[in-house]
């Protein structure tokens, strides 16, 4: 059985589905602070199998101990965490507590239970500001400019120290580039609370009329069209990489780092144009000043994951955007369109 922390969230829910479809038993631990129980119900429907779901906090050691005692857990995928950059600047302690202390509590419980295989959700943000593209795993980590990024780098360092201290650990640090898209069914996808920080969720909300226009943050970067360039990766490709890492970690020890990206960069303006093609309608936008903390460009060298895991991203940009659009069209208010009893119950008003 695989314990998936944060399994009700955007990436976690796709990972749970992929694990179930690959024949794994899954236990989800999520406190639903940024997700909905509806996501789990939909995953169950898509997989045709029930999911063991526990509503609880990854920092709760007694709960973790009880779960490891009660279920035959062989490995953990650890997605539970907070991820909003701006919020992390305002509430740094909450970020360090969840993302760093939460990871420590999990590892303590794992060690006590004799479970040493862990896949950790890291981020390309740990590379900081680097001008050498593409970014390979050989690139030194940098200095993330916000507490969210720092908490990811700190958690990576905690896990490295742990693996050095005891050879039984086998830990994969998966550095995501920019996950977007949704499951092809349109049943699960990204459902941000409040105003989206990230590009595609914002574009989707403009397209369904929840927001009037996209703000493009800067058109004076040293990139071909002046707008920021990123390596967008389909969330289903991303979670397939997790399953490959999980398999690989069975035969290795220590810490392994893998970039999960496509190796291709697209600018904000290219994203807008490709999205307009997919939706068949214009996307209103305005150019705004650069967003503080943004880098001009960032894309991965994904070869290490291909060489070592036999994994590479297969879905192209049009598929990413079409799948995301299907999810948003079918669920214009996200999971709030369905009654849940949890946090995501207050729907934002929909413009007609």
Cα 309 to Cα 241: distance, rounded to the nearest angstrom: 8
Residue ranges in 214-233 that form contacts with ligand NAD under rule CB under 6 A: none
Say which entry of ligand NAD, ligand UD1, none residue 34 contacts (CB below 5 to 8 A, set by partner kind). Answer: ligand NAD
The residue written with tokens 């965490």 in the block is 81
Structure tokens at 157: 């360092």
Of the candidates 37, 42, 83, 230, which one interacts with ligand NAD according to CB under 6 A?
Answer: 83
Pick what 149 binds: ligand NAD, ligand UD1, none; C-beta below 5 to 8 Å, kind-dependent: ligand UD1
List residues near ligand UD1 by CB under 6 A: 83, 85, 123, 125, 148-149, 178, 197-199, 202, 215-217, 228, 230, 268, 291, 293-294
Q: Note whether 256 binds ligand NAD by CB under 6 A.
A: no
CB of 15 to ligand UD1, least distance (A): 16
Stretch 96-155 residues interacting with ligand NAD (CB under 6 A): 98, 102, 121, 123
Token pair 């999960």: residue: 260
Close Cβ partners of 344 (under 8 Å, ≥ 6 residues apart): 35, 36, 38, 191, 193, 334, 335, 336
Q: How far is CA 238 from CA 53, 72, 105, 235, 267, in A?
A: 22, 26, 26, 5, 20
Which of 1, 33, 66, 295 touches ligand NAD by CB under 6 A? 33
Identify the active-site residue in 148, 221, 232, 335. 148
Which positions ≥6 away from 50 have C-beta within 8 Å? 44
E strands in 43-200: 52-55, 75-78, 117-123, 170-176, 178-180
148 carries an active-site annotation? yes
Residue ranges binding ligand NAD (CB under 6 A) = 5-6, 8-12, 30-35, 57-59, 79-83, 98, 102, 121, 123, 176, 179
Residues taking part in catalysis: 148
């Amino acid at each position: 059985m695989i314990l998936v922390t944060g399994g009700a969230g955007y990436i976690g829910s796709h990972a749970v589905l992929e694990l179930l479809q690959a024949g794994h038993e899954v236990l989800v631990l999520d406190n639903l602070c940024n997700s909905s129980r509806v996501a789990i119900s939909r995953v169950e429907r898509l997989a045709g199998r029930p999911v063991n779901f526990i509503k609880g906090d990854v920092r709760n050691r007694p709960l973790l101990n009880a779960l490891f005692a009660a279920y035959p857990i062989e490995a953990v995928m650890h997605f539970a965490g907070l991820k909003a950059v701006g919020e992390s600047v305002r509430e740094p302690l909450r970020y360090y507590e969840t993302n760093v202390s939460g990871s420590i509590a999990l590892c303590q419980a794992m060690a006590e239970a004799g479970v040493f295989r862990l896949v950790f959700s890291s981020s390309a943000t740990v590379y900081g500001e680097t001008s050498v593209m593409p970014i390979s795993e050989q690139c030194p980590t940098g200095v993330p400019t916000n507490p969210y990024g720092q908490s990811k780098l700190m958690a990576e360092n905690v896990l490295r120290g742990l693996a050095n201290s005891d050879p039984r650990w086998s830990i994969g640090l998966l550095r995501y580039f920019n996950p977007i898209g949704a499951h092809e069914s349109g049943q699960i996808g990204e459902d941000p609370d409040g105003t989206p920080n990230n590009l595609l969720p914002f574009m989707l909300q403009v397209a369904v009329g929840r927001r009037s226009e996209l703000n493009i943050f800067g058109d004076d970067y040293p990139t071909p069209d002046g707008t920021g360039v990123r390596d967008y990766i389909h969330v289903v490709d991303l979670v397939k990489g997790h399953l490959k890492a999980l398999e690989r970690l069975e035969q290795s020890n220590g810490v392994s780092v893998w970039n999960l990206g496509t190796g291709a960069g697209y600018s904000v303006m290219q994203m807008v144009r490709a999205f307009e093609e997919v939706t068949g309608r214009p996307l209103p936008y305005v150019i705004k000043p650069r967003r503080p903390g943004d880098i001009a460009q960032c894309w991965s060298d994904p070869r290490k994951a291909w060489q070592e895991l036999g994994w590479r991203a297969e879905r192209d940009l049009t598929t990413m955007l079409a799948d995301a659009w299907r999810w948003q069209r079918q669920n214009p208010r996200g999971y709030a369109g369905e009654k849940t009893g949890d946090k995501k119950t207050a729907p934002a008003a929909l413009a007609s």
